[in-house]
Amino acid sequence: SVSGPDKSRKKGWSPKTREQVKNVAVCMLDRAYIPYSRFRVGAARECAYGTVFTGCNGENASYPAGICAERNAISHAVAEGHRDFVRIVIAGRGENFCVPCGICRQVMREFCAPDDFKIYLAKSPEDYREFTLEQILPMGFGPENLEVK
């Protein structure tokens, strides 16, 4: 993790913090293991009280065995006992913004409130777009859909 708990950060996201988290996501691009596609993705996911977990994509000769940066960051956080997420920054180096794949969107939906969870797509710390999970995964299937009545 990049930073420790800070209960004052649960609701707000200061410009300084925003820049730090975007910078961390962009730095993760260089850690990607991409011998086949050469397509780098970095991610930094912030938990409710300020802890930030990072991830990058990792490929494998058996393609389905690879993992996306977003799921890498989520798995890292969950393994450390965190499940209360507020935002993620996804960075890529392509001409277009790097959007999360369908599997990553669904994994985010497992842990995040669609209307509240923020997704930042970044080409650089200065060039980014903001979305909610609801905007990129409308009518998503979540844990509440499995409640037995």
| SS3 of 95-110 | CCCCCCCHHHHHHHHH
- What is d(CA 51, CA 80) in angstroms, rounded to the nearest whole number? 11
- Whether 4 has a pLDDT exceeding 60, the answer reads no
| Residues 58-92 pLDDT 10s | 999 998 899 999 999 999 999 999 999 999 999 99
Q: Decide if 70 is catalytic.
A: yes
Burial class (CB in 10 A: 0-12, 13-18, 19+), 94: exposed
- The catalytically annotated residue of 70, 110, 130, 144 is 70
Angle between helices 69-79 and 102-111 (to 10 degrees): 30
- Whether 122 has a pLDDT exceeding 70, the answer reads yes
For residue 124, how many other CB atoms are within 10 A of its CB?
11
As given in the structure block, the two tokens for residue 39 are 């397509």
What confidence score (pLDDT) does residue 10 get? Answer: 43
| pTM of the predicted protein model | 0.84
Are the C-beta atoms of residues 21 and 1 closer than 8 Å to each other? no
- Classify 11 in phi/psi space as left (phi over 0), alpha (psi -120 to 50) or beta: alpha
